[in-house]
Amino acid sequence: MRRILVTGGAGFIGSAVVRHILSSTQDRVLVLDKLSYAGNLASLDPVADNPRFTFKKVDICDRAALDAEVAAFQPQLIMHLAAESHVDRSIDGPLAFVETNIVGTYMMLESARHYWASLPAPEKSAFIFHHISTDEVFGDLENDTDFFTETTPYAPSSPYSATKASSDHLVRAWYRTYGLPVIVTNCSNNYGPYHFPEKLIPLMIINALAGKPLPVYGDGGQIRDWLYVDDHARALYQVVTTGKAGETYNIGGHNERRNIDVIETLCALLEELAPQKPRGLLYYRDLITRVTDRPGHDRRYAIDAGKIERELGWRPQETFESGMRKTVSWFIHNPAWWQGVLDGSYRGERLGLSL
């Protein structure tokens, strides 16, 4: 029974991590999240009544608040997921990304370091600060055969990936310089339930259900490596509980797909799972519409997840096909969650908590 502090636990991946930990272990979880536009307490509804779960609305840039929460909770493990995470938003307004992803991570590291330094020896050596990052720090791959490994040099392209790369460097520096026991994980694109509707897969499902156009950047030939979010959540728990301090682990699903193929897969699943189409629509794929490509758009990402498979025994449970089927089905059967996001009501008070 561990005490695990999770930042960004009201977000897409953070909430999956919290739901996973509380449903499959006896651990206690404290979530710190500032509830930015991407934070949604409805994603934590399944655990809201669990006595081992606590939520606190905290901005990770607020060092005094962090120190107070860390001192009160006395975490054995910290999983740091809070971040600004949407590439298009980082192009329109990079400052929030610099603040949360770089300055916020610095505040987390300093808070964790001072707390860790005060721990007695056995707890000190068992402590882990786990920083959750992305494969986008590596830039893109020039050919169709290479994979990102843990030693691939960093070459970020967008303000988002540049700020995540910066935070990865800070975390490793705190290990080398101060000895803080850290682990970094770099993961490929996630998809699954509770995914914020600005991201490719939920956007396409929701637009298709409403008979709206499905916008595809450029030729749709950008290749991403997709991982079902619950597989990522299991991997993160495996890493933070059994991984080695100072190490980096790449996490991916070996599911490389072109964006256009992802969208066509979605359309085929919708034909089967939601055959009652909006009036006048013959096939969901008729909604696919080409739009101008994003500046600096990376062409191909692909992860070599061999190290975490070999050393920690983690493997994804879902194939791309099974994960996509679960995802499409979840969005069809949970319209209240995404309609709450679309109409803004998700920003109201939930969980009976005073925010």
Residue 59 in the binding site for ligand NAD (CB under 6 A): yes
Q: Residue 51 CB, nearest distance to ligand NAD (Å)?
A: 22
Whole-angstrom distance between the N-terminal and C-terminal Cα of the chain? 27
Give phi and psi for 160, each to the nearest 5. -60, -55
* Residue type, position 202, single letter: P
Q: Which is nearer to ligand NAD, 109 or 287 (CB)?
A: 109
| 217 given a catalytic annotation | no
Q: Is 252 in the site for ligand NAD (CB under 6 A)?
A: no
d(CA 240, CA 234): 10
Side chain identity, residue 21:
I
Is residue 33 within the footprint of ligand NAD (CB under 6 A)? yes
User: Would you count residue 262 as binding ligand NAD (CB under 6 A)?
Assistant: no
Would you say 170 or 187 has its CB closer to ligand NAD?
Answer: 187
Q: Is 104 in the site for ligand NAD (CB under 6 A)?
A: yes
Q: Interface with ligand NAD includes 148 (CB under 6 A)?
A: no
Return the beta strands (E) in the chain as ranges.
Answer: 3-7, 28-33, 53-57, 77-80, 128-134, 182-187, 189-191, 214-217, 223-228, 248-251, 256-258, 288-291
- Tell me how far apart the alpha carbons of residues 203 and 186 are, in angstroms, rounded to a whole number: 24
Q: Does the active-site annotation cover 284?
A: no
CB atoms within 10 A of CB 74: 12
Please identify, among the stretches 44-52, 183-191, 254-262, 264-272, the one whose residues bind ligand NAD according to the rule CB under 6 A.
183-191
DSSP-assigned beta bridge partners for residue 319: none
Asked whether position 56 contacts ligand NAD by CB under 6 A, the answer is: no
Binding region for ligand NAD (CB under 6 A): 7-8, 10-14, 33-36, 38-39, 59-61, 81-85, 100, 104, 132-134, 164, 187, 189-190, 196
Catalytic residues: 135-136, 160
